[in-house]
Amino acid sequence: MSLHKKEWGQVFKKKIIAVLVLAVFSALYAGCSRQPKFEDAFKTYASNWSKENFKAMYAQLSADTKKNISEDNFVQRYTNIYDGIGASKIT
């Protein structure tokens, strides 16, 4: 009877290890398959920039950055830059 319990314990350990390995690989796959949030934010920012949607760009700035420049100043600065260099349809 003791041998039976020992065999069952070994089988149980193997199953636990298999489940843990599967869980780790699943977590790694899920983490690697999703695009990081910062890339999504950058794509949105770049898209707004190419559309000259400076207000939307400002909305994406961090709270700390917004402390240093108002929305009006930000929009005016980018508008002046675009007008000054004659830029249009930046992609």
Which one is predicted more confidently, 39 or 12? Answer: 39
Q: Which residue has the higher pLDDT, 1 or 86?
A: 86
12-35 confidence digits (pLDDT tens): 777 777 777 777 777 766 666 555
Residue 11 domain-assigned (yes or no): yes
Residue 54 lies in a domain: yes
Number of domains the chain contains: 2
Residue 47 belongs to what domain range?
37-85
Is 49 among the domain residues? yes
The structure's pTM equals: 0.55
Q: Are residues 73 and 46 in the same domain?
A: yes
Task: Supply the pLDDT for residue 4.
Answer: 67
Cβ 60 vs Cβ 71: under 8 Å: no
Please report whether residue 91 resides in a domain: no
pLDDT digits (tens, 9 = 90+) for 50-84: 888 999 999 999 999 999 999 999 999 989 988 87
- Mark whether 43 and 19 lie in a shared domain: no
Q: Assess whether 52 and 64 both reside in one domain.
A: yes
74-81 long-range contacts (CB < 8 A, ≥24 apart) are 78/52, 78/54, 79/54
